[in-house]
A and B are shown apart, each in its own frame.
Chain A
Amino acid sequence: MAAHVQASSLPPSASAEGAGIVDGSVNGETERLERPPKRQNQRNNYGSNNQDQPDAAILAVPSVVVRDSGGSRPSRLSGGGGGGPPTNETEEEQGLKYGAQHVIKLFVPVSLCMLVVVATINSISFYSSTDVYLLYTPFHELSPEPSVKLWNALANSLILMSVVVVMTILLIVLYKKRCYRIIHGWLILSSFMLLFIFTYLYLEELLRAYNIPMDYPTALLIMWNFGVVGMMAIHWQGPLRLQQGYLIFVAALMALVFIKYLPEWTAWAVLAAISIWDLIAVLSPRGPLRILVETAQERNEQIFPALIYSSTVIYTYMGTHYTPQQSQATASSSPSSSNSTTTTRATQNSLASPEATVASGSRSGNSRPHPQQNNQNRDGSNTLASEGMPLVTFKSNLRGNAEAAGFTQEWSANLSERVARRQIEVQSTQSGNAQRSNEYRTVTAPDQSHPDGQEERGIKLGLGDFIFYSVLVGKASSYGDWTTTIACFVAILIGLCLTLLLLAIWRKALPALPISITFGLIFCFATSAVVKPFMENLSAKQVFI
């Protein structure tokens, strides 16, 4: 499961988000069109590179943040390297500030997902009893002996984890080999199953639980509409809210499937095992999820929409909105054109005061053609046109270092300026190409709608995290004790908070499961074993503490 938080919620003060260029959309794979490319910095990478390669370019995307992790390094990412190091303190704080909003932006969907699961568990008894088992769990824990149950659970979770590991590695290999069609087919198939088959089962059980009769044509009509809209929203395009809603529902459904089909102890063992696996997969240098994230960065792509919940604004949606303006914006290459203005404004944001002038300089310069760089562009896009990733080419051209060193290694002192210029160039270059500039527009559009320039950054949370949080809370609520459920809920939210705090400090992809699941497990067992009898005693006697 792609369980990691992706850091892209960072303050404008250090972000070069203006340098956004939409990825995937160009490459004919329209599925990716609607998702904002996500990027994150990896402090180690670009930290070391800061010294080695003082001049590299960034290909930042709107949600990217180019920023030093505060405190560790004095050198800032500043245009031309001219900017003195701004106080790291302030940047850190700003990171936390936007963090606070994004924490809430994740709290709400996580809570909603848990709410759906808990409500379902408590109202539909179908999901709280295990009678059929998954193929992956051959041991059914039928023996009353705790020791037998224990090894059953351990063996089951071991099997399940190896399946997860193999699948993850398969995904990474496919991704590395650029077998996008296979991956997309895989994802589409699995979301198809969830959205049609499992939703149908859910509907059936829901109707049964509430004793509502419904004829097959109506049910099929509902299913068809629901499923098709969901497939479109997840894999193609749709309003962000709709997509988020579908992702939450899919995660909840998946969690319900786990709760239903995993034997009791196995579920707990799997929770513990998956959080350890998450830790390894995201943090270890050769961890598959880390490789996935880094490769996605390198290629300037976003990870598959079906795997990640994103709190950012929708780009396609905005893009369609702003398309009419687009011609106007490109026609008038004056600085006042909203497109370039937002771009450079973002860049301005990203820089300390000396760079602001640079940014404005580049803004005024956006009307002047940059033939040379355009050529570079074209060359680059020629080489990689087949792959449809002009950005990568971009980078390699600038860097002169075509082998993908990873986007994060490209940070350098004067990158912001370049980014700003490049941005504009790209825009002017692509103005002829309606589709491209349209995409470009989609990137900047959110900026226009949110003049404070904070909205375009978002935090991404893997759907796997949603699923396993919900499994934990749902499993806790299946014992019928609400205090345990609430304790788990609070513990998971606090764990998520801590993870996001660490994210703000370390600025790299972090596993979101370990802290939360550890807290959740501790509180779940502690509450059901120790707190529950105490509270039951108290509330039976109506004693309030």
Chain B
Amino acid sequence: MTLPEFFGCTFIAFGPPFALFVFTIANDPVRIIILIAAAFFWLLSLLLSSLLWFAMIPLRDVLAFGVFFSVLFQECFRYIIYRILRSTEQGLHAVAEDTRVTDNKHILAYVSGLGFGIISGMFALVNVLADMSGPGTMGLKSGTEIFFITSAAQALSIILLHTFWSVIFFNAFDTSNYLHICYVVGSHLFVSLLTLLNASELYITTLLINYIITIITGVLAFRVAGGTSRGFKKFITCQ
């Protein structure tokens, strides 16, 4: 039972990101490098927030504090990577085999967002997955049985959200749309703080709200990237 659960949860959380990676990233070396660089920046932000959490000994048990600052650090590093990518855009344009990377500004945003998301999801889930593969199973003595699957679903939503957030965030700074910046930071804070409720096993609430936010953010990112409902309809009906 543990092994199927392991594979199931792995595919729930990382199946869609893996597909995104294979179909949109893997063919272009520049994108792979940007993805890994984004992951590295996320790691740096995590390192900073962990250091802060570690240093604040009295507040270690108050996870809300750590989460709050972690979100702020992540958004700061998103801004840093935005600055870096924009300042190296000229170079990238010359370097990139496939000039779409720079012709369409959203690709850079998407790639770095996916990098953020994948590493974030991995860090959140990978040890849980390692525990999942055996020898024990959740929910035998106490605790909830759906711990793993809800974790996996949350991780997927976070990965997707990071991708959408980056698209919105980069575009917002390009167009000085402060509303969108506030939306990104606000929704990130909201989603992260909302998951604090998972500790009291309010899975339906958190998952439902998180996925609603994911869909809203996805729609917003789609519109920001120039998508229209008509285009979407055409895409769906394969016209």
Which residue of the partner chain, among B29, B40, B51, B127, contacts A104 with CB atoms under 8 Å? B29
Q: How far is the CB of B194 from chain A (nearest CB, A)?
A: 9
Which residues does chain A contribute within 8 Å of B97, judged by CB atoms? 97, 100-101
Cβ of B37 and Cβ of A96 under 8 Å apart? no
B32 CB-CB contact with A under 8 Å: yes
Closest residue to B74 on the A side, CB-wise?
Answer: A545
Closest residue to A500 on the B side, CB-wise?
Answer: B33
Cβ of B40 and Cβ of A490 under 8 Å apart? yes
B215 CB-CB contact with A under 8 Å: no
B95 CB-CB contact with A under 8 Å: yes
In the complex where A97-B94, A107-B32, A531-B50 touch, is A541 in contact with B199 (Cβ < 8 A)? yes
A542 CB-CB contact with B under 8 Å: yes
Cβ of B67 and Cβ of A100 under 8 Å apart? no
A538 CB-CB contact with B under 8 Å: yes
A497–B66 Cα distance when bound, in Å, is 31
In the complex where A497-B36, A544-B191 touch, is A530 in contact with B50 (Cβ < 8 A)? yes
Which of A90, A526, A530, A536 has the largest number of chain B CB atoms within 10 A? A530
Which residues does chain B contribute within 8 Å of A101, judged by CB atoms? 29, 97
Cβ of A531 and Cβ of B192 under 8 Å apart? no
Which residue of the partner chain, among A481, A487, A534, contacts B53 with CB atoms under 8 Å? A534
A292-329 Cβ-contact flags toward B at 8 Å (1 or 0): 00000000000000000000000000000000000000
Which residue of the partner chain, among B29, B94, B123, B199, contacts A535 with CB atoms under 8 Å? B123
Closest residue to A487 on the B side, CB-wise?
Answer: B43
B130 CB-CB contact with A under 8 Å: yes
A89–B40 Cα distance when bound, in Å, is 28
A536–B67 Cα distance when bound, in Å, is 13
A527–B119 Cα distance when bound, in Å, is 14
A369 CB-CB contact with B under 8 Å: no
What would 22 A/B residue contacts be, using CB atoms closer than 8 Å?
A97-B94, A101-B29, A107-B36, A480-B130, A482-B130, A490-B43, A491-B43, A497-B33, A497-B37, A523-B43, A530-B51, A535-B123, A537-B63, A539-B151, A541-B63, A542-B154, A542-B195, A542-B198, A543-B192, A543-B196, A544-B154, A545-B67
Which residues does chain B contribute within 8 Å of A107, judged by CB atoms? 32, 36
Contacts A107-B32, A482-B129, A545-B67 known; list 17 others, CB within 8 Å: A93-B95, A100-B30, A103-B29, A103-B33, A104-B33, A482-B130, A483-B122, A483-B127, A487-B43, A490-B36, A490-B43, A531-B47, A539-B125, A539-B127, A542-B151, A542-B154, A543-B199
Cβ of B199 and Cβ of A534 under 8 Å apart? no
Cβ of A486 and Cβ of B126 under 8 Å apart? yes
A494–B84 Cα distance when bound, in Å, is 15
A203–B190 Cα distance when bound, in Å, is 52
Which residues does chain A contribute within 8 Å of B39, judged by CB atoms? 490
Which residues does chain B contribute within 8 Å of A96, judged by CB atoms? 91, 94-95
Q: How far is the CB of B200 from chain A (nearest CB, A)?
A: 10
Cβ of B71 and Cβ of A494 under 8 Å apart? no
A521 CB-CB contact with B under 8 Å: no
B7 CB-CB contact with A under 8 Å: no
Cβ of B147 and Cβ of A542 under 8 Å apart? yes
A527–B40 Cα distance when bound, in Å, is 13
Which residues does chain A contribute within 8 Å of B130, judged by CB atoms? 480, 482
Cβ of B94 and Cβ of A90 under 8 Å apart? yes
Which of B122, B127, B147, B158 has the largest number of chain A CB atoms within 10 A? B127
Dominant SS at the A interface?
helix
Cβ of B94 and Cβ of A93 under 8 Å apart? yes
Cβ of A493 and Cβ of B36 under 8 Å apart? yes
Chain B interface size, as a band, is 35 or more
B83-117 Cβ-contact flags toward A at 8 Å (1 or 0): 00000000100111100000000000000000000
Which residue of the partner chain, among A480, A534, A539, A544, contacts B192 with CB atoms under 8 Å? A544
A533 CB-CB contact with B under 8 Å: yes
Cβ of B94 and Cβ of A544 under 8 Å apart? no
Q: How far is the CB of B122 from chain A (nearest CB, A)?
A: 6
Q: How far is the CB of B71 from chain A (nearest CB, A)?
A: 6
Closest residue to B26 on the A side, CB-wise?
Answer: A104
B49 CB-CB contact with A under 8 Å: yes
Q: How far is the CB of A89 from chain B (nearest CB, A)?
A: 8
B155 CB-CB contact with A under 8 Å: yes
A530–B51 Cα distance when bound, in Å, is 6
Cβ of B198 and Cβ of A543 under 8 Å apart? yes
Cβ of B63 and Cβ of A538 under 8 Å apart? yes
A93–B30 Cα distance when bound, in Å, is 13
B183 CB-CB contact with A under 8 Å: no
Cβ of B119 and Cβ of A490 under 8 Å apart? yes
B54 CB-CB contact with A under 8 Å: yes
A421–B171 Cα distance when bound, in Å, is 54
CB contacts under 8 Å to B, within A505-545, are 523, 526-527, 530-531, 533-539, 541-545
A483–B158 Cα distance when bound, in Å, is 17
A177–B76 Cα distance when bound, in Å, is 57
B128 CB-CB contact with A under 8 Å: yes
Which of B43, B74, B119 has the largest number of chain A CB atoms within 10 A? B43
A69–B70 Cα distance when bound, in Å, is 42
Cβ of B150 and Cβ of A542 under 8 Å apart? yes
